[in-house]
Amino acid sequence: MSYRVTKLAEGLVVPSEPTPTGNLPLSSIDQTPGLRDVMVDSIHVFSHGVEPAKVIRDALSKALVPYYPIAGRIVKHDDGEMEVACTAEGAWFVEAVADFRLEDVNNLERPLMVPKEEFLPSYPPDQKGLIFMFQVTQFRCGGFSVGIISSHAMSDGLGAAQFVNAIAEMARGLPTPTVEPIWCRDAIPKFNPAKLPPGPPPILTAFDFQYSISDISSDTINEIKNAFTSETGQRCSTFDVITAMVWRARTRAIGLEPQVDVNLGFAADTRHLLRHLLPKEKGYYGNCVYPMSVTASSGKIAGSSLVEIVGLVREAKKMLPTKFAKWMAGENEEDPYKVPFDYGTFIVADWNRVGFYEVDYGWGEPAHLVPFNDSRFIGSCIVLRPPKPKQGVRLMMLCVVKEHSAAFSDEIMNLA
């Protein structure tokens, strides 16, 4: 059976009231090469909604008043610096309808039965520097999805979710967002993040990573947390446990020589380290992230207990204040965004606590999220919540090639 999505209308949604004009600077963190040219794609699935496209479009127009920079355009200057031109041109919005029900396509759980492009807005050819784009797709069952493409230069995950939650609040009839948006990117001192080297980009090896999804129960996670506390006298987080589990499972499955290094990467939130610079109130929606990494030999990770690997992850996290301060002071010897693009490198991203699961346009929170990190150069794992009423976490993984899929699946199954 073929499934069809028809895009009924598309165009710019402008702020519902006049907004300030002029150019606003992006922070040095916003402009790091690892963020500045990245667009983040995700699909948010809801089980019920009444005329969701109309409701969300109207709410977006209202939310773009306090969040007026998002209605502008990102501009690049000759020296490479980026700013936001507050032009009030608007965010791109697409209304679509599907001729099938969510249950016909496994509720849009991955692997998708319909190409993701059907549920994401297409880039308009005549628009440059767009910051946010939306597509609301209504399904025959009454459910709907919101496909979002956003600029990482404008916001990290927490900042993007803050804006989307503001839209949801407007949709529910609130006159103003609960969290007042704060710009103040110039409060973060200017520093010189590593520039992209001159000349053509390096040629990278693409891997035919295979998709896999696994649910890890709360009981399993708590068992490892308790073991860690018992052995070390310290506490650890769910993220620490999940990261250790998947890193060891993957390392064992891919079977590199024991002396070969494997690399783990994850983004750390640095808002708590910027409190002396940013206003005390919540609301800053710029990037506050720093890439952390752990490197160890394949043999060490494959042969260690989960408690030992959780310890390695926690040791890396303890270094965050020092490394972040050095980076902002320009004292780092190495660019933290420069990671080996090889099969031994693996990154973990946590979408659990970002704020997208709390979005409610008036008909309840999302049934689930479908983020996309489709890089074929570095293995990745995205940590999500499993569909209700399951407890624990869902792992969306794109990190091993076909010949290692069975071994990786076995390793994960032994943990779950």
**Can you give the pLDDT at residue 394?**
95
**DSSP-assigned beta bridge partners for residue 148:** 42, 134
> In whole numbers, what is the pLDDT of the chain averaged over residues?
93
Let me know if 77 is a catalytic residue.
no
Q: Which of 152, 156, 240, 368 is catalytic?
A: 152
The alpha-carbon radius of gyration of the chain (Å, integer) is 22
pLDDT tens readout for residues 5-15? 999 999 999 99
In the chain, which segments carry CATH 3.30.559.10? 5-187, 209-415
Q: Which of 104, 261, 335, 360 is catalytic?
A: 360
pLDDT tens readout for residues 385-412? 988 788 899 999 999 999 999 999 999 9
- According to CATH, what is the number of the domain 209-415? 3.30.559.10
pTM of the shown model:
0.94
Class of CATH domain 5-187: alpha beta
Greatest CA separation found in the chain?
62
The type of residue at 299 is G
Q: How far is CA 280 from the centre of its chain?
A: 25
Q: Among residues 214, 202, 192, 145, which one has the least CA distance to residue 363?
A: 145
Let me know if 41 is a catalytic residue.
no
Instruction: Render each residue's pLDDT in the chain as its tens digit; 416 residues.
Output: 689 999 999 999 999 999 999 999 999 999 998 898 899 999 999 999 999 999 999 999 999 999 999 999 999 988 888 999 999 999 999 999 999 999 999 999 888 899 999 999 998 988 999 999 999 999 999 999 999 999 999 999 999 999 999 999 999 999 999 999 999 999 998 876 555 556 666 678 889 999 999 999 999 999 999 999 999 999 999 999 999 999 999 999 999 999 999 999 999 999 999 999 998 889 999 999 999 999 999 999 999 999 999 999 999 999 999 999 998 888 876 778 888 889 999 999 999 999 999 999 999 999 999 998 777 889 999 999 988 788 899 999 999 999 999 999 999 988 76
CB 325 within 8 A of CB 267: no
